[in-house]
Amino acid sequence: MSSPPSSEHASSFPSPSPAEELSATQALWRIARALPIVERSYAIIRFMILRVKLLATMDLLLPAEGPILDVGCGFGLWSAYFSQMQPGRRIIGIDPNAHRIAMAQKVAAKLGVKTEFFAEDVRQTAARGPFRAVYLLDVLHHIPSADQVEVVSQLTDMLEEGGTLVIKDITTKPWLGLKFTEILDRAMVGMKEELAYRHHNEWSELLRDLGYSVRVVRVPDVLPYPHVIIAATKGKRPVVASSQSAVLN
């Protein structure tokens, strides 16, 4: 699959209105204010990296209600964000980092959002679903490449038919963008942890093999992060090559 920068394809992705972007920004500020200073600084950097447009687009890809799994939720920033945007969502966040989970619980309590958090590795999670949606925001490349396919396949089993899998990750091209991201990721996780980035075409193929129909959008940034959002719908039967690729403006 090539990645044509076609607005025709980009229009197949939901695009937030100015009003939706404004309410997204307000929701993000409420989260930042609920955090202690160190975590607040981290959150503001994450908000700047991910940009309101990217988050608002992900918000429109997720169902407006029902159970949703946030894999690798960290401080629960996005669980708190997506729950504020649609109070009918019941978001369950998992992350192996107990400190982050404790912080996620505190923030959710302050904001009064309907979320639950568990200190768990996705590879040993007790979560079973069925979920209406599962999302991973900059998490897949932190899972060793030998485990990635098994993890996605396990998450597929937890999704209801017609459910949505949303992956926000970093693609491998252009090379300079990848190296830029890798340096910053290394600063966060050190040199020992494997960073297992994959090209978005590889993810698309893999997801189609698992029976999803797949849409991909590349999200340009002022910084050279090669952001990509992959929106996959679990089909009732194996879906024959149905994929689209686009660039979000």
Q: Which residues bind ligand SAM (CB under 6 A)?
A: 46, 71-74, 77-78, 94-97, 100, 121-123, 137-139, 142-143
* Neighbour-count burial of 160, counting CB atoms closer than 10 A to its CB (0-12 exposed, 13-18 middle, 19+ buried): middle
Our CB check for ligand SAM shows the closer of 50 and 232 to be 50
> What is the SS3 string spanning 43-64?
HHHHHHHHCHHHHHHHHHHCCC
Smallest gap, in angstroms, from Cβ of residue 75 to ligand SAM?
A: 7
Smallest gap, in angstroms, from Cβ of residue 39 to ligand SAM?
A: 11
Residue 167: name the closest of 122, 90, 232 by CA. 232
Smallest gap, in angstroms, from Cβ of residue 101 to ligand SAM?
A: 9
Our CB check for ligand SAM shows the closer of 42 and 235 to be 42
What is the C-alpha to C-alpha distance for residues 31 and 111, in angstroms, rounded to an integer? 8
Directed axis angle between helix 77-85 and helix 98-111, to 10°? 30
Our CB check for ligand SAM shows the closer of 95 and 239 to be 95
Smallest gap, in angstroms, from Cβ of residue 207 to ligand SAM?
A: 19
Instruction: Check: CB of residue 204 under 8 Å from CB of residue 1.
Output: yes
Our CB check for ligand SAM shows the closer of 106 and 142 to be 142
What is the C-alpha to C-alpha distance for residues 17 and 214, in angstroms, rounded to an integer? 24
Our CB check for ligand SAM shows the closer of 1 and 60 to be 60
Our CB check for ligand SAM shows the closer of 92 and 239 to be 92
Smallest gap, in angstroms, from Cβ of residue 237 to ligand SAM?
A: 30
What is the C-alpha to C-alpha distance for residues 172 and 170, in angstroms, rounded to an integer? 7
Helix or strand holding residue 157 (H, E):
helix 145-158
Smallest gap, in angstroms, from Cβ of residue 93 to ligand SAM?
A: 9
